[in-house]
Amino acid sequence: MEEKFGVPKDPSYLIKALQHIQEEKGYISMKDALDVAEYLDVPLSKVYGVATFYEQFRLKPRGKYIIRVCQGTACHVKGGKTLLDFLKDFLGIGVGETTDDCLFTIERVACLGACALAPAVEINGKIYGKMNPDKLRDIIIEIKEAEKNAKSCKPV
């Protein structure tokens, strides 16, 4: 029996198929959504409905470095918004977006569980506490330096 996206050709496997794509590629592209709709014989609107309903699914590529800026109460009162605004300006992207070199994605979170270190930022799982725009800029410049010979991760 034909099998694509790691699932049988059965519309009830839509979520599993989307999970499979995301595991392989990191996000679900328009072409993936079309392919799944065709394979499982469900309307494209249903594929999008499911992909946008569940937070686990991403419809855009993500960068190699996920920068999560806390906007929880403790971080907010200590300058979390200033940090987020700085980061958006410095990288030239908005929340949920990824830089053209595919290095950085900005995310906003409600609490990183490190309130004593407010304002906090998490980069690929590592917490950076008591941040300010200067420190954040230095960390990003350091990452860019380390990655300058890395191949572009531009998705196809």
Residues that bind ligand FES (CB under 6 A): 70, 72-75, 111-115, 118, 120
Residues 6+ apart with CB under 8 A from 34: 44
Name the minimum Å distance from CB 106 to ligand FES. 16
User: Amino acid identity, residue 137?
Assistant: R
> Residue 8 or residue 129: which is nearer to ligand FES going by CB?
129
> Residue 11 or residue 113: which is nearer to ligand FES going by CB?
113
Name the minimum Å distance from CB 75 to ligand FES. 3
- Name the residue number minimizing CB distance to ligand FES: 72
Name the minimum Å distance from CB 109 to ligand FES. 8
Smallest Cα–Cα separation from 85: which of 73, 74, 98, 95?
95
Cα atoms found within 13 Å of the Cα of residue 21, Cβ hemisphere only: 26
> Residue 26 or residue 129: which is nearer to ligand FES going by CB?
129
> Residue 70 or residue 136: which is nearer to ligand FES going by CB?
70
Residues 6+ apart with CB under 8 A from 136: 83, 86, 87, 90, 121, 128
